Amino acid sequence: MVHVVSTVPELPYPHYWEKEKSEALLEWKKLKGLGYLDNLVWRIEEELGGNVASSHYRDGTPDKEVVRLGEEIDAGLIMVGGRRLKWLERIFLAGFSEKVSRRAKCPVLVVGERGSHGSPVAWRL
């Protein structure tokens, strides 16, 4: 299980308090992200009776960090959640799952929201 928190790039700050404010925001995002990840692991193990082999927290661009982690742990498959983009969004924007599937060296399984028949639907990009 992976949780990635998006970080803002280093910018030249005209005032020192703006940099402190940005660093405080990133620290807050990190604490919230770690809490969220711990809660997900707890829910999977306690409420659903599952088993989480390991959990990972990363700072950075989500698609790049998921691919980087997949390479580090030598993953045989990366599974991501996805949603279908509208046709205009697909032309101009690449979604998270599409970016991961393009960059990953291993297969990527994209699991969508529940379909019209109430079952999870997987699709290939």
- Shared domain check, 43 and 18: yes
pLDDT at 72 over 90: yes
- Taking the C-alpha atoms of residue 87 and residue 92, their distance in angstroms, rounded to an integer, is 9
At 44, give phi and psi (nearest 5°): -65, -45
Residue 70 shares a structural domain with residue 118:
yes
- Say if residue 79 is in the same domain as residue 55: no
Confidence check: pLDDT of 23 > 60 = yes
Q: What is the mean pLDDT of residues 38-47?
A: 90
Same domain, 87 and 98: yes
Q: Are residues 55 and 65 in the same domain?
A: no
Residues 71 and 90 in one domain: yes
Instruction: Give the integer Cα–Cα distance in Å for 5 and 103.
Output: 19
Q: Is the pTM of this model over 0.85?
A: no
At 44, is the secondary structure helix, strand, or coil? helix
Which of 18-22, 71-75, 89-93 shows the highest mean pLDDT? 71-75
Q: Structurally, how many domains does the chain consist of?
A: 2
- Model pLDDT, residue 116: 46
User: What are the phi and psi torsion angles at 22 (to 5°)?
Assistant: -65, -40
| Residue (of 13, 40, 39, 36) closest to 24 by Cα position | 13
The pLDDT score that the predictor gives to residue 104 is: 93
| % the chain with pLDDT above 90 | 20
- Indicate if 86 and 50 belong to the same structural domain: no
Which of 21, 38, 60 terminates a domain? The answer is 60
Please tell me whether residues 20 and 33 are part of one structural domain. yes
Range of the domain at 83: 61-125
